[in-house]
Structure 1
Amino acid sequence: MRFQLLGPLSIAEGHDVVVLKPSKPSSLLAALLLHPGSVVSTGYLLRALWDDDQPATARAALQSCVLRLRRIFVKYGVAGDVIEAVPGGYRMNVDTDTLDLVRFRTLVRAADGAGDAEGELYRLKEALTLWQGPLLANVPSLMLHRDEVPGLTEERLRTLERACDIELSLGRCRQVLVDLWEAARRHPGRERFAEQLIEALYRTGRQSEALAEYRAVKGRLKEELGIDPGPSLQRLELAILRGDDLGSVALDQAPQPLEIAAPVRPTAPVAVTAAVPAPDDGGPPRGDRAPAADWPVPPGGRAAPAPLALPASPTHLVPPALPVPPVPSFTGRAAERADITARLRECAPDTTLVVLSGAPGIGKTALARQCAHDTQDTFPGGVFVVAMTHPDGAPLTADEAMAHLPRPGAGDGRALLVLDDVTTADQVRPLLPAAPGGAVIVTSRRGLAGLMATHGGSVHRLSTLDPAESRQLLTAALGAERVAAEPAAAGELADVCGHFPLSLRIAAARLLTRPGLSVEDCVRWLAEDPPARLSLADDPRMSVPQVFGRALHRLEPRWQDAFRRLGDQEGLLVPAHALGDSPEAEEALERLADAGLLEEGPPGPYRIHRLLKIYARRQARERNTGEAATVPH
């Protein structure tokens, strides 16, 4: 059993929620929960119940109110001693498991010590999901709404500002636009939200919209308050007018897993049972529910919702269909790119389905995004990109993904869906009706043969780049002059990187940020410990070991062990009997091939890429010495 304070005051058990009717016991409960674990003085509680108009018998009435609240608790399985009478007042004994406010503050504090931007953002977003609607909408206390609600609201808005700041710092300007549009409109007095929205618009190539938003803010402040925007907003306007670069947007454009507006899993849908009101002020507890029309309006004039009016599922907020920019320094994949774009441009009556599969880090997302950019003029209904896994690697459910896609028939024409990092065919099937007559690009490490069997389409299994394509990528990223100055070293660098697009981009980024480092020295350093050194310290996603680890840890433990055993095999060819002659050994190789950790297979031998083999050997060594790392996030 738990209490929910961040929204209509309610008592919940599992997915069932009882929303309390506005009453004196509801005000008393809210006043106690607002100060969890602390002694709440009798005087404070009296003000919460009667404000300045306290009756002569207020103290006796308070004791009666406590007794009635305890009876309600017993009725719904809450221990009566959760309210403790102490000298000078009362105390509510709750913790992170029994009160959402405590959990919210715990998560926000944990974000402070996360140590990295991704971990901090994950905790902040989890904290924000605890807010379930208008704060204390069913609590009639004037004092609480006047003295307590503004402070709690400020806590939430500061947390939201902080989360949006992190999103912007990570370059996820497109993904955060939906949150910023809503926040800026709901809280026009907070200039920071307006500033974040303007920055996000500008950094996604929408300069005219950014300036229009600034002028709207400026006009509102002038008209309502007679003041100009603050210095920070003014500096931002000047930077936009000058066309300044506001910072790197690499994560927003690079061919890495794309993020949806809210990558943290939402709380489970709330199934509200018949609402059971708290006792009326003038009588014993009642089992009937007052009609919604009889519910009083709480302070501020906002009508309290009837208990059964709470949503049973998250609001369907669809991100705007924004232009898809080209992938920076995209090279290679000419044949696949031509075939995919041709298929996408065909106006077939059914949904056009394209699956891009292959090893982790092979460039599936980059190709999908580049093809979406190439063909976006073909889709008047827009292009919608959804990352199909959460930051912790768990797959999105179909319902979670659908919240970020247009409803069938809701758009202005054909739409293109890009479903990135799909883990199973079952994730995709329920989403295909969202693009009738449109197209869907799916990227996955798996082949998704089951999806092809039921829905048809085309599959492109990507392999590593050839030497010429690798050189083109390095030239596009580093510049022709730097590659031409050390042509042999550039070729060696491509070899050390295994011709993986991800590895090549990581190496190029290291060279770009160290202009005094020669390509030859970079090759020598990387070659001492690949793939461990193919990572960037300031971005855990740009890490070959992390990407390989995520792919490995999606498998069952027995298949993970089979992969580690391959590190001891001679050469890069993996014969069918490499793990033994049993049916399970054969299945293990098939599972690893399906996960993108092996290539080819029967009737010929399997192959393992050199970087994956080194990674398998390292994993086996760490496992044997007890040094194996935990699942990477």
Structure 2
Amino acid sequence: MRFQVLGPLRIAGRSEVVVLPPSKPTILLASLLLRPDAVVTTDFLRQAIWGDDEPASARAALHTCVLRLRRTFAKYGIAEAAIESVPGGYRVVVEDGALDLVRFRELRDGARAVRDPEAELCLLREALSLWQGAPLSNVPSDFLRRGELPGLVEERLSVVERACDIELALGRCGQALVELWAASRAHPGHERFREQLIEALYRSGRKADALAEYREVKRHLREELGVDPGPALQRLELRMLRGDSLGPPPSAAPAGEPDRTARDVTDEGVAIAEPGARPAAAIAPPVGKPPSGPVSAPPSAPVPGPVPVPFTAVSSFTGRAAESAAVAARLTADRSGPALVVISGAPGIGKTALALHVAQLVGHHFPGGRFAVRMTRTDGTPRMSGEVAAELQGMAATGAGSAAGADRGVLLLLDDVTDPALVRPLLPAGAGSAAVLTSRLGLAGLVAAHGGWATRLDALAEDESYRLLSAALGEARAGAEPEAVRELAAACGHFPLALRIAAARLLTRPRLAVADCVARLREDPMRRLSLPDDPRMSVPLVLGEALRRLDPRLADAFLRIGAAPPAPLPVTGAASLLGIPPVPAEEILEQLADAGLLEEEPAGRFRMHELLRTFAWCAMGYQDDSPALPSRR
């Protein structure tokens, strides 16, 4: 983005993003950006800048403000023509993707056009992620705050409200509660938020809390405004008092929702079974006759759907030869009992791709079938053991293979494990069976208890990244700019997810030179490492989701460490940075390392990968002297 108004007003130059100081040129720019590509009259601009204290020389002073703003643009490599003088006023010309406000409205309007609630929710979440704090907080104009800011805030609130409606319709009451607590407290007069909060509490089994919240709303409205709650809230109270059901149970799919294809995209950019859809498919399932009767499931678990849909391992798998050989050996070496392998690492590092690749390599060792199931939903919340067990039972009933724990040798891939307690009941117990778990966590306790083996993935080596990009782009295109391809690999931090996103951008832009792609990536890395037609293929969204999973104190520590100088951080340095004693500082560092967000080095030091550091800076809102993306050394 060249311009950002959804937060402090900022402009992006060739290599940095700058928060503008409170000044008259800043007011001028904000006034123009709030009406992109439209003529803003000089009367409006003078009122915004000076209000009722307009000087006699306001016309000349306005012209001076324009000149100062153009000089600022020139300093950061933005063409002077971005501000046009037209009859009656001025206009700012905004390129596609150059203003966060325009992008926010595009995502919001795009969400309205889609029919699938999951896709709509993804677009709305991406739109909300563009907000980086209170809008126009560095713009000292009472005129804009009174006339423009309320409408801007209302646009955001309508998106939050719709996103929470979808969460509630999908039964994700716990997920909605987090947003609704904050929204209802920040906007106590927004009655719909209070209604949604009360519904989420009630449907989460917290009837007493829901009724207490209703009483608080009623008291606030009567004491502050002298009115009673609206009809919707009164109907909601009556239904709660009667004990009515208000919707699907928490985490269930909405009633009447059509069955979706059992596919999803993990944080590695790899297709795998989607929770809540049809049962996860076996990798190259053995031929078998489906049963004639219906599939049975435990009463508390959802009944599995039709015959599984086949899927294959990630295409153009490149690199990880040593890791592949080691995992394959562990899965097949000792067939006297079940085997367990944990593949851990940072978000986007390629855990799922490696697991699927190895499953293809060793498939002939597992006649009972090979199965892959996600342990989280698309919103990052964990799936319960019973739900996954029912899904596996459905696979067995269709004849696609043996369920976990059966006597025949099966290979089970449990992807994105967040809680070891949820996978223990699912681990196969039969001789010759094996389980591969992928997780951002090390799962050391699970490995110790079950006698398994663990490997932690780092970023790809430089040559491996180059081969991955060459395989994706084609030898001809990669061979025409070999050095630029290597620079692109370095700019992506050698992270497989980032590499595949960059390659996809180039493949859909055949005339774009690789060197130009590198330059654009360095200019705006987080936006360039996202695919506009698939919100899930996005480095900032994947890393943001990983951050939301953390305990708040860990998330805060991650951001503060990311804003610190990039040198390896000892425990004493972390204690000083976080303002806590060394012992809890060491615990925080170890937990962040276990979550894949820090890398532990010799002598008890910790380092943050530059791609993660860039994300942390963007998330913190720091712009001056922001860290550069990795480059070849």
Residue pair 1:380, 1:412 contacting (<8 A) in 2 also: no
2:588 corresponds in structure 1 to: 588
2:98 corresponds in structure 1 to: none
Normalised by the size of structure 1, how large is the TM-score? 0.52
1:449 corresponds in structure 2 to: 444
Residue pair 1:111, 1:120 contacting (<8 A) in 2 also: no
2:336 corresponds in structure 1 to: 349
1:556 corresponds in structure 2 to: 551
Change (3 A) 1:519 1:622: same
Q: Where in structure 2 are the equivalents of 1:74-85 lying within 5 Å?
A: none
Give the whole-Å Cα distance in 2 for the aligned partners of 1:319 and 1:368.
25
SS of the aligned residue for 2:373 comes to strand
Letter in 1 for 2:473: L
Post-superposition CA distance 1:478-533 (Å, at most 9, x none)? 00000000011111101110110111000000000011111011000001122342
Change (3 A) 1:408 1:372: closer
1:618 corresponds in structure 2 to: 618
Post-superposition CA distance 1:367-387 (Å, at most 9, x none)? 001111112222111111111
Give the whole-Å Cα distance in 1 for the aligned partners of 2:168 and 2:273.
15
2:119 corresponds in structure 1 to: 116
Letter in 2 for 1:354: V
Give the whole-Å Cα distance in 2 for the aligned partners of 1:586 and 1:561.
15
Post-superposition CA distance 1:164-195 (Å, at most 9, x none)? 3xx4xxxxxxx27xxxxxxxxxxxxxxxxxxx
Give the whole-Å Cα distance in 2 for the aligned partners of 1:470 and 1:489.
12
Give the whole-Å Cα distance in 2 for the aligned partners of 1:445 and 1:395.
13
Residue pair 1:389, 1:395 contacting (<8 A) in 2 also: yes
SS of the aligned residue for 1:553 comes to helix
Matching of residue 259 in structure 1 with residue 273 in structure 2: yes
Change (3 A) 1:261 1:120: farther
Matching of residue 473 in structure 1 with residue 477 in structure 2: no
Give the whole-Å Cα distance in 1 for the aligned partners of 2:254 and 2:545.
33
Letter in 1 for 2:551: E
SS of the aligned residue for 1:355 comes to strand
Change (3 A) 1:126 1:605: same
1:485 corresponds in structure 2 to: 480
2:381 corresponds in structure 1 to: 394
Change (3 A) 1:534 1:377: same
Give the whole-Å Cα distance in 2 for the aligned partners of 1:594 and 1:514.
38
Q: Where in structure 2 are the equivalents of 1:208-607 lying within 5 Å?
A: 255-256=269-270, 258-262=272-276, 312-315=299-302, 317=304, 325-406=312-393, 413-433=408-428, 437-580=432-575, 581-601=581-601, 603-607=603-607
Give the whole-Å Cα distance in 2 for the aligned partners of 1:576 and 1:449.
22
SS of the aligned residue for 1:442 comes to strand
Gaps of 5+ in 2: 1-111, 125-162, 173-252, 280-295, 394-401, 576-580, 625-633
Cα displacement (A) at 1:443: 0.3
Give the whole-Å Cα distance in 1 for the aligned partners of 2:522 and 2:354.
28
Give the whole-Å Cα distance in 1 for the aligned partners of 2:497 and 2:297.
45
Change (3 A) 1:318 1:577: farther
Residue pair 1:355, 1:458 contacting (<8 A) in 2 also: yes
Normalised by the size of structure 2, how large is the TM-score? 0.52
Cα displacement (A) at 1:114: 5.0
SS of the aligned residue for 1:600 comes to strand
Change (3 A) 1:424 1:314: closer
TM-align CA RMSD: 3.8
Cα displacement (A) at 1:315: 4.9
Residue pair 2:297, 2:304 contacting (<8 A) in 1 also: no
SS of the aligned residue for 2:536 comes to strand
Cα displacement (A) at 1:263: 5.8
Residue pair 2:598, 2:608 contacting (<8 A) in 1 also: yes
Give the whole-Å Cα distance in 2 for the aligned partners of 1:128 and 1:548.
24
Residue pair 1:572, 1:609 contacting (<8 A) in 2 also: no
SS of the aligned residue for 1:443 comes to strand
Give the whole-Å Cα distance in 1 for the aligned partners of 2:340 and 2:297.
37
Change (3 A) 1:478 1:491: same
Residue pair 1:363, 1:501 contacting (<8 A) in 2 also: yes
Gaps of 5+ in 1: 1-108, 131-155, 168-174, 177-249, 266-308, 625-633
Residue pair 2:404, 2:426 contacting (<8 A) in 1 also: no
Give the whole-Å Cα distance in 2 for the aligned partners of 1:513 and 1:451.
43
Change (3 A) 1:119 1:490: closer
SS of the aligned residue for 1:579 comes to helix
SS of the aligned residue for 2:504 comes to helix
Give the whole-Å Cα distance in 1 for the aligned partners of 2:369 and 2:267.
18
SS of the aligned residue for 1:574 comes to coil
Give the whole-Å Cα distance in 2 for the aligned partners of 1:347 and 1:310.
33
Change (3 A) 1:412 1:382: farther
SS of the aligned residue for 1:614 comes to helix
Letter in 2 for 1:559: L
Q: Where in structure 2 are the equivalents of 1:64-143 lying within 5 Å?
A: 112=115, 116=119
Give the whole-Å Cα distance in 2 for the aligned partners of 1:372 and 1:492.
32
Post-superposition CA distance 1:108-134 (Å, at most 9, x none)? x9984959356599999986999xxxx
Letter in 1 for 2:620: A
Larger Rg: 1
Give the whole-Å Cα distance in 2 for the aligned partners of 1:253 and 1:552.
13
Letter in 2 for 1:515: P
SS of the aligned residue for 2:363 comes to helix
Letter in 2 for 1:348: R
Cα displacement (A) at 1:356: 0.4
Cα displacement (A) at 1:320: 5.3
SS of the aligned residue for 1:463 comes to coil
Change (3 A) 1:358 1:124: same
Give the whole-Å Cα distance in 2 for the aligned partners of 1:263 and 1:372.
22
Letter in 2 for 1:549: G
Give the whole-Å Cα distance in 2 for the aligned partners of 1:410 and 1:620.
46
Change (3 A) 1:434 1:614: same
Give the whole-Å Cα distance in 1 for the aligned partners of 2:337 and 2:406.
16
SS of the aligned residue for 2:413 comes to strand
Residue pair 1:466, 1:499 contacting (<8 A) in 2 also: yes
2:127 corresponds in structure 1 to: none
Residue pair 2:559, 2:616 contacting (<8 A) in 1 also: yes
Give the whole-Å Cα distance in 1 for the aligned partners of 2:547 and 2:309.
33
SS of the aligned residue for 1:386 comes to strand
Residue pair 1:324, 1:383 contacting (<8 A) in 2 also: no
SS of the aligned residue for 1:392 comes to coil
SS of the aligned residue for 1:603 comes to helix
Q: Where in structure 2 are the equivalents of 1:147-186 lying within 5 Å?
A: 160-161=257-258, 163-164=259-260, 167=261, 175=262
Change (3 A) 1:367 1:535: same
Cα displacement (A) at 1:323: 5.7
Aligned length: 366
Cα displacement (A) at 1:349: 2.4
Give the whole-Å Cα distance in 1 for the aligned partners of 2:552 and 2:170.
34
Give the whole-Å Cα distance in 1 for the aligned partners of 2:535 and 2:119.
9
Give the whole-Å Cα distance in 1 for the aligned partners of 2:518 and 2:473.
15
